[in-house]
Amino acid sequence: MNYARTAIMLAAMTGLFLAIGYLLAGEAGMLMALLVAGGMNFFAYWNSDKMVLSQYGAKEVDARTAPEFVGIVKRLAGRAGLPMPRVYIMENDQPNAFATGRSPENAAVAATTGLMRMLSREELEGVMAHELAHVMNRDTLTMTITATLAGAIGMLANFAMFFGGSRNNPLGIVGVIRVAILSPLAAMVVQMAISRGNEYVADRTGAEISGNPLALASALQKIEQVSLRIDNRVAEAHPETAHMFIINPLHANKRDSLFSTHPATSNRIAALQELAQSSGGRPSRTVRRRRFRKGPWG
């Protein structure tokens, strides 16, 4: 997804802030909402990664505490020409992973203990290469800011529903109720539109980094099958963060529809199998030249 389209979608979410603020307190509420949206964007830029990692109880690890896992990330980052990200582990039985951070120089990748127990080394490499692809494509900032804004829009919509809006609003109480219901849905549509396009690109780029599209395809299949049977309670409590994971951690999503946080896993697997076939059945070893300098680990 190009930067212009993403910027338009983020602007649309900010516009929802203004609409809800207007319904709460007229023009003064709209101005207040604008200030809040600006403040939240600034805060999210600098702190959204820390917030998400903290929500999921992620613990930072290093070469001493998790040598094999950190070694995998280090080698893949070197192949991609990326700075070494911070590495985290989440104590969670559901297999899953995500990346976050405002830039490649400030990125972090996180995986659950369930993921590390379930996958083979090659499959784990495929998953972490996918997450590093999000870092490389600078999706991580967009995803974390989107999660922050979506959560805030839901909060403001509930606030509007509870207080009934301003007497000065032109839509009346019925309009307030409609906007309070539709605003979170609109935010979710924007959020999903950003996420779904990014996943296909990250799959392909991740396959290039790891050099093994079929390992990533196998990992996606395993993760989906197991994650549907295991709850991720933090994700259920914070559904606005679901789009950040490699596979949707929520159980409501079962098909490739408008409200899906991710494309259908079967479609992603088919695309990866096609990529592997186009390379003659051999793992791809081509990674495009990146604009990031390799660190001393690469």
Stretch 93-106: mean pLDDT: 93
Rounded to 5°, angle at Cα 184 from 161 and 54: 105
Query: What is the reported pTM?
Result: 0.75
The closest alpha carbon to 170, from 4, 16, 22, 11, belongs to: 22
Q: In this model, does residue 296 exceed pLDDT 50? A: no
* 160-170 tens-digit pLDDT: 555 555 555 55
- What integer pLDDT is reported at residue 141 of this predicted model? 74
**Residue 60 φ/ψ, nearest 5 degrees:** -70, 140
Q: DSSP assignment, residue 56?
A: T
* 109-156 tens-digit pLDDT: 999 999 999 999 999 999 999 999 999 988 877 776 666 666 666 666
Choice among 102-106, 192-196, 253-257 with the minimum mean pLDDT: 253-257
Choice among 60-74, 90-104, 228-242 with the minimum mean pLDDT: 228-242
- The residues annotated with a catalytic role in the active site are 131
The more confident residue out of 162 and 291 is 162
Q: In what order do the strands lie in the sheet with 86-90?
A: 59-61, 86-90, 108-112, 97-100
Residue 275 contacts residue 204 (beta carbons within 8 Å) = yes
